[in-house]
Amino acid sequence: FFSFWPPVRSGSARPSGFFAPSEGAMLPAGSFRDRLAFITGGGTGLGRAMTMVLSQLGARCVIASRKLDVLQETAGEISSQTGNQVHALQCDVRDPQAVARCVDQMVALSGLPDVIINNAAGNFICPTERLTPNGWRSVTDIVLNGTAFVTLELGKRLIQAQKGASFLAITTIYAESGSGFVVPSAAAKAGVEALYKSLAAEWGRYGHRFNIIQPGPIRTKGAFSRLDPTGTFEKSMIDRIPTGRLGKPAELANLAAYLSSDFASWMSGAVIRFDGGEYVSMAGEFNELRKVTPDQWKMLEAMIKGTKGS
């Protein structure tokens, strides 16, 4: 059963140079010309990176979240770099009326969007027995209700206008498996995924596509300050990520741009894990054996071959 192979590297050491990130824009220039993109949480982190790429590719963008000053700064920086308009609108997605007002403003400014990215979220690590009902709501109201309110408001208006659109939600690799210590986030993100898969089926007839990206760890101030405040967790994540590094915002942004573009016009209801392989690496029961050395494998093979019967 075994072929005796020249000793190979064991442990997590990786020849350097594999898996280097490509951070330039991937799609053809102008892929989003005459398109309007609406990105929640577009002022910071991954939302900002997605806005940057869409803007580079020709989209006009509207970014919305609670902190208008942050949004305006980002909008100014991106539009001065790309030459395309970026609008900043204040909006707390937990409040359906604020969402409606925000959409009113967008429509007045630039019409209904072709691309919608639900990226706004809140999260923090906490043992669940220390969580209050308000702590629970502080996350689920943004992530699940916020996404629903934005999606309902825009969906209804787009349907009335008979305009198609691409919807994208940013969730997380633990939406399916669940995870302790980030439980409201796990529940709310799972809810977002079901919402989007449901609407992929239901609203295709109105010209709408719905897809999901589940990112693994990508350093942003927002996520890392609340999920790994001391920085100690990062090392153990990198150790178990088969590609041996965190993701880069620009990599995620290229994937998001693809999914939002006409090149993906047949993609709907998809859930795309983008995590350097972390999830499969954690979930597989015997992956811990990566720590076994070649010499130990020889010994194990001999023991196994020597086993008789069951």
Contact residues: ligand NAP, CB under 6 A: 40-41, 43-47, 65-67, 70, 91-94, 119-123, 142, 146, 170, 172, 215, 217-218, 220, 222-223, 310
Residue 232 C-beta: closest distance to a copy of itself, Å: 10
Shortest distance, position 170 Cβ to ligand NAP, whole Å: 4
Instruction: Please say which residue, 112 or 131, places its beta carbon nearer to a copy of itself.
Output: 131
Which of these, 115, 134, 272, lies nearest to 208 by C-alpha position? Answer: 115
DSSP one-letter string for 132-161? -HHHHHHHHIIIIIIHHHHHHHHHHHHHHT
Q: Check if the beta carbon of residue 88 is closer than 8 Å to that of residue 72.
A: yes
Distance CA 34, CA 58 (A): 7
| Residue 78 binds which entry of a copy of itself, ligand NAP, none, CB below 5-8 Å type-dependent | none
Is residue 47 within 8 A of residue 63, CB to CB? The reply is yes
Q: Which of 174, 196, 206, 279 is catalytic?
A: 174
In the complex, what is the shortest distance from the CB of residue 102 to ligand NAP, in angstroms, rounded to a whole number?
9
Tell me, yes or no, if 174 is annotated catalytic: yes
Taking CB under 8 A as the criterion, the residue among 6, 80, 108, 235 binding a copy of itself is 6
- Cβ count near 56 (within 10 Å): 21
Whole-angstrom Cα distance, residue 140 to residue 188? Answer: 5
64, 103, 117, 199: residue in contact with a copy of itself (rule CB under 8 A): 199
- Which token pair is 64? 């919305």
Does residue 7 interact with a copy of itself by CB under 8 A?
no
Query: Which residue type sits at 220?
Result: T
Please, which residue, 66 or 157, has the CB nearer to ligand NAP?
Answer: 66
How is residue 295 written in tokens?
Answer: 């010499």
Segment near a copy of itself (CB under 8 A); pick from 54-62, 76-84, 104-112, 246-254: 246-254
Q: Interior CA angle at 175 toward 170 and 181, to 5°?
A: 110
Q: How far is the CB of 234 from ligand NAP (least distance, A)?
A: 10
Answer with the entry of ligand NAP, a copy of itself, none that 256 interacts with (C-beta below 5 to 8 A by kind). Answer: none
CA distance 236 to 238: 5
- Distance of closest approach, residue 258 Cβ to ligand NAP, in angstroms: 17
Query: Which residues are annotated as catalytic?
Result: 174
